[in-house]
Structure 1
Amino acid sequence: MLQVVMISTGEEVLHGDIVDTNAAWLSRLFFQHGFALSRRTTVGDHLEILASEIEQCSLTADLVIVNGGLGPTTDDLTAQAAAVAAGVGLEQSEFWVEQMLEKYRAFGREMPQGNLKQAMLPEGAEILDNPVGTACGFQMKLNRAHLFFTPGVPSEFQVMVEQEILPRMKALHPEVSTLECHRLYCFGLSESGINDTLSTLNLPPLFQLGYRSSMPFIEVKLFTPKGDAQVPVVMNEIRKHLGENIVGVGLTMLDTIGSHFSQSPLTLTVAEQFTGGDVLNWLQDNPATQSALSQAWLLTTHVDPSISDAEPMGAALAMAAAARQQTGSDLALVCGSLHEGAISIALSTPKGDWAQHVRTKRDYGNKAHRKMVATLMLDMLRRWQSGETVVGQYESFETLSELFLPVEPM
């Protein structure tokens, strides 16, 4: 099995001052191209430790990506560590010096002398072009491994990986096949429950399921050989197993809602009590849902308790109807206040009005609770757009009551 390792460098990464987004990005990209990472490690700005890690990885891995530490400052030690690991000296690349001078001429600036450090490479290393910044990457062979060294700036790193490194890796290992990732987004099911539900699937060779929990969604990922003819059949089987809890196929729930608004332009008013603007803010993240939004009302959560006790769904339905009437919107989506752990939400449409009174089956903190209710509200809208049953069934919610009021004939 091909062994692929990534070494991230830098005290700021090691100690959590910054999030290592490069590692997550590279892991996804390499997996899809058939170069799944075997291991990831992080090393601080210590010459001996970094040199030792590079040498150890070169003995056990086939491909090694070393990210960071190619800048002009004294704590940028990667090139020197690579030279120590290989037992060679550093030499100045006159070619890269000229490349840096040209970049600074284009900026209308004089290059600082400190940047010459970025042209000091291990003897025998091959330059990897960096069209974005001043730090070149480089490639070298050490023991069993081909090593690729890259700058840490994400915009530079990503361009270098896609344009310089991946083509070289594929040339070195042409037997590796590219994978595709097909994504389904689920709401209202647990990760373990989905895993149990899909455990009976007979997947074709080289097909693999993966899961990612990002509250309140579970993302189901099907990895397949690129262009495999069996993909539609397997995807259809997964959809049958997960049923109405799938809120997006290849698209997130919000993007799915946005695609419906793009195909059938309607206007929407939102009125929120408990969620406090979470739905409004969420709708801003997609151009189509943002355009569909006519008005948004943020209402105080302090309401008359007697009204909430007597008619929680009635109050939500009345709020939804009033929102449509007063704003002239095609649709209105509302939630009431939280009372004794339960909340009512309602959707008013030209075809009728729906409401449900629900509570979550487990305790959440305030922020997570609001997110769960906001998701439930938007899923009512998505279901109506898709022609599904508007009030769904969810493992995470207990439906205390529900109501549908059809449009009265004229």
Structure 2
Amino acid sequence: MNITMLSTGEEVLHGDIVDSNAAWFSQRCFDAGVGVCRRVTVGDELQALSEEMLSLSRKSDVVIVNGGLGPTEDDLSAAAAAMAANVGLVLSEAWLEEMREKYRRLQREMPETNLKQAMLPDGARVIDNPVGTACGFHLKLNQADFYFTPGVPSEFFRMVDDLILPEVLAHPAAANRVVRGCHRFYTFGLSESGISERLRDVNLPDQVDIGYRSYLPFIEVKIFADLESPQFPALRDEVASRLGDNVLSVNQPLIAAIGERLDHYGLSVSVAEQFTAGQVTAQLHDNEVTSQYVIQSWFLKPKLDESLADADPLAAALAMATASREKTGADIGLSTGANVDGYVAVALATVQGEFGILVRQRRKRNLSDQRLVVATLVLDILRRYLNDLPLCGEYESLSVEGEVLLPREGSQTSDADSTQD
């Protein structure tokens, strides 16, 4: 089935806003087993829009046109559709009354400019918009079914879920669709080429694909397959085995996986940050579960005092993690030290002892990205501790320049259950 999404608007074309609607719609279609084949963006120019619609009408089964249904002069989708279909615009009395009723409920008078939103190509079918004033509409053009939708995300989402996607799935061209799911491994520390090499000779069954999504600091490894297939568990387990403990989490972000472990053990956390400038704390507070277990955080100035310039950065980070834990009574203390000539120390302190590593980033990155990588490293160490894994992992983009493990006297195990006093 050939589905195309046509996004309109100068602000989308020139990057003033991110086209999140297109990404959302593509994901919705993929989950339903009908992938989007093409995405096109055209600015607010009547002739260009009309010509693009005509072109798409000859090679698509379904076209979703998003945006351009507002009351202003640069909202041109309806006029472009009428031009492409060689028909006129006619007033939808039913939608005009619906708009007036919406304004009456708000105890406001409808502006005359909104009349434009009830002017639709002759022969178009109205698609209800219970949220806003711009109706959607359906129009058949050559071989394609066109669905015109507003650009406001809440209105677009509602329209797609309530009517458009069910109609798309009932389209004759969707009869042979294969419903595939997506199983996601969130990885950290490996490069995309390194992951590809590990998975190079994995034997994939028919209608199964492996894809990658790289965005700092993670690489998602995605298996596209029928998740109910009897072959899927063995494939999933093989991929997981080859990726090893560089898999941070499965089908959920890292911070959600950490939240499950903290909640399971009932462990509290305190944080002291220098180089990361609050990024570790921010990520912990962004999750509803992990935020419940953060007792306190300290943000220290990112540079060392001159009097401490010769101090051992690993020892300083270990001391920070220990102090943050002991001063608050937390079960776990985390710290990130200062950046000293490109080297940053991070540490974890528990009732069993302290662990710290000194790292240097091998790639040149801006400061914000450097902080993000180090913050993720700290959270990965926390994850490893909570899952009883080796605390220092394999990190292709980081050079580990030093490592310290200081077990407390009498400590027998690193299992997270034993961290509770």
Specify the TM-score bucket, using the shorter chain as the normaliser.
over 0.9
User: d(CA) in 2 for partners of 1:240 and 1:316?
Assistant: 33
Query: Structure 1 residue 131 and structure 2 residue 130: aligned?
Result: yes
Query: Structure 1 residue 64 and structure 2 residue 91: aligned?
Result: no
Change (3 A) 1:395 1:64: same
TM-score for the superposition, normalised by structure 1: 0.95
State the SS of the aligned residue for 1:337: strand
User: d(CA) in 2 for partners of 1:108 and 1:233?
Assistant: 61
- Paired residues, what number? 409
Which amino acid letter does the alignment assign opposite residue 8 of structure 2?
Answer: T
User: d(CA) in 1 for partners of 2:390 and 2:45?
Assistant: 60
Deviations 1:316-342 (A, max 9, x none): 222222222211111100122122221
Match of 1:144 in 2: 143
* Contact 1:308 1:315 survives alignment (8 Å): no
Structure 2 spans left out of the alignment, 5+ residues = 412-421
User: d(CA) in 1 for partners of 2:80 and 2:323?
Assistant: 69
Which amino acid letter does the alignment assign opposite residue 363 of structure 1?
Answer: K
Match of 1:352 in 2: 353
User: d(CA) in 1 for partners of 2:311 and 2:107?
Assistant: 73
Which amino acid letter does the alignment assign opposite residue 403 of structure 1?
Answer: V
Which amino acid letter does the alignment assign opposite residue 257 of structure 2?
Answer: T
Query: Structure 1 residue 313 and structure 2 residue 314: aligned?
Result: yes
* Contact 2:303 2:339 survives alignment (8 Å): no
Change (3 A) 1:68 1:304: closer
Q: CA RMSD in A?
A: 1.7
Alignment of 1:153-164 (within 5 A): 153-164=152-163
Match of 1:25 in 2: 24
Match of 1:260 in 2: 261
Query: Structure 1 residue 181 and structure 2 residue 219: aligned?
Result: no
Match of 1:370 in 2: 371
Match of 1:397 in 2: 398
Query: Structure 1 residue 408 and structure 2 residue 401: aligned?
Result: no
Deviations 1:149-172 (A, max 9, x none): 111111111111111111001111
Change (3 A) 1:231 1:108: farther
Match of 2:46 in 1: 47
Deviations 1:277-326 (A, max 9, x none): 12112211101221111111112334366856563322222222222221
Which amino acid letter does the alignment assign opposite residue 83 of structure 1?
Answer: A
State the SS of the aligned residue for 1:270: strand
* Contact 1:140 1:147 survives alignment (8 Å): yes
Identical aligned pairs, as a percentage? 49
* Contact 2:92 2:118 survives alignment (8 Å): yes
User: d(CA) in 2 for partners of 1:354 and 1:379?
Assistant: 13
* Contact 1:184 1:248 survives alignment (8 Å): yes
Which amino acid letter does the alignment assign opposite residue 39 of structure 1?
Answer: R
Change (3 A) 1:301 1:148: closer
Which amino acid letter does the alignment assign opposite residue 384 of structure 1?
Answer: Y
State the SS of the aligned residue for 2:386: helix
Alignment of 1:231-310 (within 5 A): 231-303=232-304, 309=310
User: d(CA) in 2 for partners of 1:73 and 1:231?
Assistant: 51
Deviations 1:206-229 (A, max 9, x none): 111111111011111111125333
Match of 2:117 in 1: 118
User: d(CA) in 2 for partners of 1:263 and 1:196?
Assistant: 35
Change (3 A) 1:190 1:72: same
Q: What's the CA shift for 1:62?
A: 1.2
Deviations 1:77-130 (A, max 9, x none): 111111111111222222212222222222222222222221111111111111
* Contact 1:212 1:220 survives alignment (8 Å): yes
Match of 1:210 in 2: 211
Which amino acid letter does the alignment assign opposite residue 59 of structure 1?
Answer: R
Change (3 A) 1:397 1:306: farther
Match of 2:191 in 1: 190
User: d(CA) in 2 for partners of 1:368 and 1:130?
Assistant: 41
Q: What's the CA shift for 1:242?
A: 0.5
Query: Structure 1 residue 97 and structure 2 residue 102: aligned?
Result: no
User: d(CA) in 2 for partners of 1:18 and 1:374?
Assistant: 28
Change (3 A) 1:74 1:315: closer
User: d(CA) in 2 for partners of 1:362 and 1:12?
Assistant: 33
Which amino acid letter does the alignment assign opposite residue 168 of structure 2?
Answer: M
State the SS of the aligned residue for 2:18: coil
* Contact 1:178 1:226 survives alignment (8 Å): no
User: d(CA) in 1 for partners of 2:231 and 2:130?
Assistant: 40
